[in-house]
Amino acid sequence: MKHTRRSESVASQRGEGETTTTPAEPADRERARAIPEAAVARLAVYLRVLSGMADQGVTAVSSEELSQAAGVNAAKLRKDLSYIGSYGTRGVGYDVEVLVSHIERILGLTRNHSVAVVGIGNLGHALANYGGFPGRGFPVTALFDVDDDLVGIPVGGIPVNHIDEITAICVEREVSIGVIATPPPAAQSVCDRLVSAGVQCILNFAPVVLQVPDNVEVRKVDLAVEMQILSFHVARRADEAASVSVGNNGLGVDGMVIRP
Amino acid sequence: MKHTRRSESVASQRGEGETTTTPAEPADRERARAIPEAAVARLAVYLRVLSGMADQGVTAVSSEELSQAAGVNAAKLRKDLSYIGSYGTRGVGYDVEVLVSHIERILGLTRNHSVAVVGIGNLGHALANYGGFPGRGFPVTALFDVDDDLVGIPVGGIPVNHIDEITAICVEREVSIGVIATPPPAAQSVCDRLVSAGVQCILNFAPVVLQVPDNVEVRKVDLAVEMQILSFHVARRADEAASVSVGNNGLGVDGMVIRP
DNA sequence: CCGACTTTGTGCATGCGTTCACAAGCGGTA
DNA sequence: TACCGCTTGTGAACGCATGCACAAAGTCGG
Ligand SMILES: NC(=O)c1ccc[n+]([C@@H]2O[C@H](COP(=O)([O-])OP(=O)(O)OC[C@H]3O[C@@H](n4cnc5c(N)ncnc54)[C@H](O)[C@@H]3O)[C@@H](O)[C@H]2O)c1
Ligand SMILES: NC(=O)c1ccc[n+]([C@@H]2O[C@H](COP(=O)([O-])OP(=O)(O)OC[C@H]3O[C@@H](n4cnc5c(N)ncnc54)[C@H](O)[C@@H]3O)[C@@H](O)[C@H]2O)c1
């Protein structure tokens, strides 16, 4: 529809004046810093898709193919990959193995990250039993609970320890990621303990907003929120349907309407 | 970020004639469309915080207090609330009850959303047993699995049905949200079945990119991705630390480099 | 009834992320 | 070697989200 008249004006070719800081700077680090959070999340997805392809013997892939398998726009994929370097071959595509290894490097997957799960209830059991983590460089090395009936019992091959031992054990086993699966009221206190044990990354399943120091990274998985977002879309869709069928005169009942 | 959808903003494309038509009613429907996805997610968080406050007898709250409890910027909170209307009192703050009911209305929580869980393994059991959903308007009304040993056994009070019954049962029980907790290879096929049973909202725990029609909303919970994002931050942090202590001469371990 | 004080709601600037569009670059081919 | 078609990598535009800063709008004490 629109025509953007590009002016071939100022040659932007080797426009290399903008590097700012240090002169001889290979720039991997600059890159790592500059990667948008959203892109990091997608890189993890690309990595999984690529691993699957590698397992099936695929050796090369184009941005178009990969983007489709990952469910994103091809241009976005290329831009995401460009954040980590230029590892493609024009006219051909990307070498799967090469891409895998570079994404792994950027995501810090060249070393293992030891995981501790706190709160071995319904969810904690599922997590501890889950086989998907160790295989991907995230071995679960410690489990904690307050319940004395659980302490000592192995879950998924790891014995449960009492929460009071959290500091000593986290330090000893070099836990780098703490997973909180306790009831909400206990979450903040567990979080504090993890932090004082030196854990700087936390994955929180409890529906609670955790307060942490700046140097600690928290990610939350909040199922209730996910459900409510879905609910919002249901409602919106119902509204639209209503406005179409009723004829867009305004409000339905209480703003709520029924399914198409 | 962590989002699956291709078209981000909630307000997708403007339909043809219906834009300017409504004269005296800018209200709810147009509003609901305009709410940014990110804001919707936060509204759900505010709702939980507010509910907690209401339970403790708090009747009024300022944007400052609420924003702190929700872990966001106060200005952002006010903007988020402004998307749903003007229900605050200047100089005073917000009435907790009023806010709760309006957020619930916008999120479509004035009606129940029936949930079906597919794949009653480790995770499916945890979900089925979880008491947090029914209380919040998301009753789990159906469970499905292929495993004949599971079929008929009640989990969390609901008997497991065979996956082949999925269409009939989802229709009958008016399931509006389907949760996929099967192994990855089964996820797409389960998804297709849910969709053909009329389910338009899906919460996916399997590490797979689902392909769905445009009218279906998918949200994914991908623990491996969450872990990898944390891993990325660990790596970045390690790099920074190294650059400080080593003194920025170039490369660190493994070709990774550190920041200036 | 007034004036001082508090807090909301929002216009605006800024920054980030997404998307488009295309030149540069590569492999294959004549 | 020179050309051709294909795919990458990226500059630039666009659009959404964030945060600031302040007028508007209310409360409260006198
Ligand atoms: N189960 C689910 O499917 C699900 C879904 C969404 C959210 N969640 C959230 O995940 C968390 C765990 O859920 P769950 O169903 O596993 O709960 P649960 O009650 O089954 O398990 C909680 C476990 O935490 C332990 N615990 C309590 N206080 C503790 C403390 N201070 N230190 C260490 N351990 C402690 C308990 O002994 C118990 O074993 C909750 O916050 C819940 O809201 C769970
Ligand atoms: N357990 C966890 O903590 C965890 C963590 C992250 C991701 N996940 C993901 O969640 C999913 C479930 O994990 P899990 O540990 O519960 O696995 P699981 O193997 O314990 O359970 C899977 C269940 O799905 C059933 N199933 C298989 N094919 C099916 C089909 N076509 N239709 C219906 N049911 C089918 C199986 O019978 C089994 O009961 C997996 O995709 C896994 O990658 C799980």
Pairing of strands B88-89, A140-145: unpaired
E-strand ranges in chain B read 60-61, 88-89, 93-95, 114-118, 140-145, 154-155, 158-162, 175-180, 201-204, 217-220
Distance B9 CA to ligand 2 centre (A): 31
Which ligand places an atom closest to the C-alpha of A143?
1
Task: Report the residue count for chain B.
Answer: 260
User: What residue is closest to C20 (Cα–C1')?
Assistant: A75
Write down the pLDDT at residue B134.
76
Among candidate residues B46, B44, B224, B116, the one with its CA nearest the CA of residue A222 = B44
Among candidate residues B117, B171, B170, the one with its CA nearest the CA of residue B145 = B117
User: What residue is closest to D10 (Cα–C1')?
Assistant: A79
Q: What's the token pair of residue B15?
A: 């339909």
Q: Which residues of B69-88 are buried (b: 16+ CB within 10 A; e: fewer)?
A: bbbbeeeebbebbebbeeeb
Write down the pLDDT at residue A241.
72
CATH: 1.10.10.10, 1.10.30.50, 1.25.40.10, 1.10.10.60. Which one for A10-106? 1.10.10.10
Q: Which residues of A touch B35 (CB under 8 A)?
A: 232
A168 φ/ψ angles, rounded to the nearest 5 degrees: -55, -50
Distance A13 CA to C24 C1' (A): 10
The CB-side HSE value for A240 (13 A sphere, CA atoms) comes to 18
Ligand 2 proximity of B181 Cβ (cutoff 6 Å): yes
Write down the pLDDT at residue A21.
31
- Residue stretches of chain B with pLDDT short of 50: 1-27, 247-260
Write down the pLDDT at residue B23.
34
- Residue stretches of chain A with pLDDT short of 70: 1-33, 243-260
- The domains of chain B are located at 10-106, 114-221, 224-255
User: pLDDT for A87-142, tens place per residue?
Assistant: 999 999 999 999 999 999 999 999 999 999 999 999 999 999 998 887 789 999 99
Fold topology of A114-221 = Rossmann fold (3.40.50)
Ligand 1 proximity of B232 Cβ (cutoff 6 Å): no
Rounded to the nearest 10 degrees, what angle do helices B63-70 and B37-55 cross at? 100
Q: What's the token pair of residue A196?
A: 């004082």
Write down the pLDDT at residue B136.
84
B92 CA: distance to closest CA in chain A (Å): 25
Write down the pLDDT at residue B31.
55
Q: Which residues of A touch B105 (CB under 8 A)?
A: 254-256
User: What residue is closest to D15 (Cα–C1')?
Assistant: B9
Write down the pLDDT at residue A253.
36
Q: Tokens 């944390």 map to which residue?
A: B230
Q: Which residues lie near nucleic chain C, judged by CB under 7 A? A: A 2, 4, 6, 13, 36-39, 72-73, 75-76, 78-79, 89-92; B 1, 6-8, 62-64, 74-75, 78-79, 81-82, 86-94
Write down the pLDDT at residue A239.
75
User: pLDDT for B191-227, tens place per residue?
Assistant: 999 999 999 999 999 999 999 999 999 999 999 999 9
Task: Point out the ligand 1 atom lying closest to the alpha carbon of residue A186.
Answer: 31
Distance B90 CA to D24 C1' (A): 9
Write down the pLDDT at residue A34.
80
DSSP single-letter state for residue B41: H
